[in-house]
Amino acid sequence: MGASPDDPYGPGSPAAAGERAALVAEIAATGALDDPAWRAAFEEVERHVFVPYYFVGRPGGYDRLWSGDPDPVRRERWLRGAYADEPLAIRVRDGELISSSSQPSLMARMLAELEVRDGHRVLEIGAGSGYNAALLAHRLGDDLVTTVDLDPEITESARTHLATAGYRPAVVTGDGARGCPERAPFDRIIATCTLPRVPVSWPAQCRPGARILAPLATGLIALSVGEGDGALGADRAEGRFLHTAAYFVPLRGAPPRIPRAFGQRLPRGSGHELFRFLLALTEGSLDPRDALSLWEREGRPARERYGVTVVGERQWAWLDDPAGPYVWPLA
């Protein structure tokens, strides 16, 4: 499909193809596209179709870049930005960012870590521009992909972008914290918004052995859902954080969950990003000075040593072992 003469930046744009090839090569160099199926998805799904406009920060607010700008220099800037390995602000309301298109290399790492297989049914929480849903639909087929967002403007826009690009997964307007019971059960759930805790409805809507990947406390938690016997019961999900840092718009557009300790005078030496991850994870459960003492005593542990366990309504974070001695209830 070639671009229309009236819309040189539409689907099939030759100019966009070159930018997309450069982006794919950049992501591939990090090792995030080792799976040929995901590489093919990033090569063929046109990100610029999903971000016909976006916002870039400037002093005092945001500047809007869009595909139809009469200034050719600004149009070229828009296209380059659409294929930059950076997150893009796609919806701003009253000065607050409420929806974004994630950094492509982070999306690639998350999709690889989701460990999908042919035939898997996937639920995405946070529709954004629709780009991530298109990548999933390219890999699995439209019928196996569902994306949910609370904001009807976001879902309508994502649905339009997906149709323009030739994809038609299920796009549902609803509270992502409730999952999507009418489309369950799912083999995989992936969230593209930060959680304060794991919604109990998600494991309940999964098949045994399913995998849930979600941003939590500036990290990415990968949970395995119980098989119904053995170490994980049917009402249980458990897993560890990946090494990757992750910062996303909060679930349901709520204000960012910043630990109260961030507004306090923290102990000397506490500015390390991994220590702030521990503070975010243990908010309300651990005093900042006690947290710093623990962090130093345990050798400044990386994210992979932390995990989360969900058992029905109860859930807790832990260091090294879900049975303790270091466990903290999630707020």
Q: Which residues are catalytic?
A: 99
The C-alpha torsion from 321 through 108 and 225 to 168, rounded to 10°, is 160
Give exposure, 246-279, as e/b (b: 16+ Cβ within 10 Å).
bebbbbebeeebebebeeeebbeebeeebbbbbb
Residue 198's nearest CA partner among 125, 271, 134 is 125
For 231, residues 6+ apart whose C-beta sits below 8 A from its C-beta are none
Q: With both helix axes pointing from N to C terminus, report the angle between 72-82 and 14-28 in degrees, rounded to the nearest 10.
A: 30
Count Cα neighbours of 205 within 13 Å in the Cβ-side half-sphere.
Answer: 24
Compute CA distances 49 → 17, 80, 310, whole Å: 12, 13, 38
Q: In what order do the strands lie in the sheet with 96-101?
A: 61-66, 53-58, 88-93, 96-101
Tell me how far CA of residue 238 lies from CA of 140, 179, 186, 321, in angstroms. Answer: 25, 18, 17, 11
Q: Collapsing DSSP states into helix, strand and coil, what is residue 20?
A: helix
Closest to 291 in 3D by CA, of 259, 323, 247: 259
Segments of 226-305 assigned E as strands: 236-245
Alpha carbon dihedral 243, 249, 253, 254, in 10-degree steps, equals: 60
Residue (of 168, 206, 212) closest to 192 by Cα position = 212
Q: Is the Cβ–Cβ distance between 251 and 125 less than 8 Å?
A: yes
Q: What one-letter code names the amino acid at 305?
A: R
User: CB–CB of 309/238 below 8 Å?
Assistant: yes
